[in-house]
Each structure stands twice: as C-alpha cells, then as structure tokens.
Amino acid sequence: MKSRSLKFTLLSVFVFTAFLFPQKGSTPNPDPQRFKKQINAFVQWDKKNSYPQQAVLFVGSSSIRLWPTREAFPRLKVINRGFGGAEISDVLYYINETTLKYQPAVIVFYCGDNDIADKKSAERVLNDFRVFVEKVHKKLPVTKIVFLPIKPSLARWQLWPEMNKANKLIKKYCKQQPFLMYCDTATPMLNKKGKPEENIFIEDGLHMNDKGYAIWNKTLSPLLELLVNKK
C-alpha cells in the first residue's frame, strides 16, 4: 500500500514539474493563418505576372522580406517570398505557395530567428529545417538549398547562445548532404569583441539596414554565382 502511495506521489510530482517546466521543443507552433493575407498576395501576384524559371528563391522571415534581393543580385534571376514574423513551421505550412511551385534551381533559406524568440529549442529549429529539406527534395531533388544562419542582433542578443547552438547543429547537418550549403553570414556581423556591430541595424536593433545587407550580399554572392553557373 505504501509502495502504491509512493508511486502515485512521485507521478504527481513529475506531472506537476513537467507542467511548470515543459521540455525543450514543447512550444506549440503559432497559427499560420495569421499570414493568410500575405500569402494570398503572393498567389494573386503570380496570377497576374510571370516569374523566372530555374531562379534563386529567397524564402523565410522578415530578414528575407526586407532584403532588396533583385537589386543585390542583378545578374541573377531571383524571387523573394519572405514574410515577416514567420517561423519555420509557417514556411512548412505554406511550402507550396512560397517554394515548391516555383521549382527554383537554388533556395536561399533564412528562418529560425523568430522560433528561438518564441522559446523553441535549437534542436527544434534543426528538426523543422530538416522537414523543410525533406519536403523540398521529395519534389525537387536537384534543387540546392543554402541555409543562412540565424543572425546575431542587438535586440535578441540574450538569445544568441541558443541561436548559435541552432546554427552549429544545422551547419553540421548541411555538411552531411551535397545539396545543402551553409553560408556564414552571421560571423561577419560581429565586431572584434564578438558582439553585433551596432551600425548595421535599424532603430529596433533587430532588422538590418543597408550596411547589414551589404555584409550578406558580399558573403553570399560568390556562392550563388558558383551554384548558378555550375554545369
């Protein structure tokens, strides 16, 4: 009888502890329907306009949306399908509308920043990115995917340890697949003290200004040229 009572007590403590301190990765995905208007705008634009074939597709969160990719890479055929505030789960939900339909030659992926801010773990970010890769290569087996690491920022510097952990996990994963590339746009954003350069962000300390994007352009451009021109 004492044994049963002890087991029940221990189980109750475990359940109560799990409720107060959920395991990493237990954060629920946000409702993707909050982006319905933005995604519908992409769909309507595509109905009225043609888009380049075998293009370089930029997809992900606001760092993609705010990036003037056409001006940054004038020699390349580019499509930008970034939507602000997105987490990887949102990109997965709208993968047909934002990614697969374009059948791109190369995908430049930036997402995970908001995931960590939403208290998702580095391991969760890795797993969600792996799902994205698997879905893409099931439909587009020869498409190359370039992962841009989660950026260090002034506004979210306290989250950098977990963000950097996610970057390292994904970098290791990318090395295991010949069609995945990890382009380190994060390190050049740090100063000699290992902290984010202050003059590369707009007032919110999160989104980049022209100087920030210039770093990304310079870092990414050689890789894209290589991938696009590679026969």
CATH number of the domain bearing residue 104: 3.40.50.1110
Q: In degrees, to the nearest 5, what angle opens at C-alpha 56 toward C-alphas 171 and 183?
A: 20
Write the pLDDT tens digit of every residue in 41-62.
999 999 999 999 999 999 999 9
Neighbouring C-beta atoms of residue 18, cutoff 10 Å: 11
Question: Is residue 38 situated within a structural domain?
Answer: no
Question: Is residue 175 situated within a structural domain?
Answer: yes
Render 126-171 in DSSP notation, one character per residue: HHHHHHHHHHHHHH-TT-EEEEPPPPP-STTGGGHHHHHHHHHHHH
Q: At which residue do the structure tokens 């950098």 appear?
A: 160
Question: Is residue 24 situated within a structural domain?
Answer: no
**What pLDDT was estimated at residue 213?**
98
**What pLDDT was estimated at residue 231?**
53
Write the pLDDT tens digit of every residue in 154-203.
999 999 999 999 999 999 999 999 999 999 999 999 999 999 999 999 99
Write the pLDDT tens digit of every residue in 112-165.
999 999 999 999 999 999 999 999 999 999 999 999 999 999 999 999 999 999
Percentage, residues of the chain above pLDDT 90: 87
Q: Report the number of distinct structural domains present in the chain.
A: 1
Question: Is residue 119 situated within a structural domain?
Answer: yes
Sequence-ordered list of residues with C-beta below 8 angstroms from that of 170, at least 6 positions apart, any chain:
125, 126, 129, 147, 149, 182
Which residue range forms the structural domain that includes residue 175?
53-226
**3-state secondary structure at position 225:** helix
Question: Is residue 33 situated within a structural domain?
Answer: no
**H helix count then E strand count, the chain:** 10, 5
Question: Is residue 11 situated within a structural domain?
Answer: no
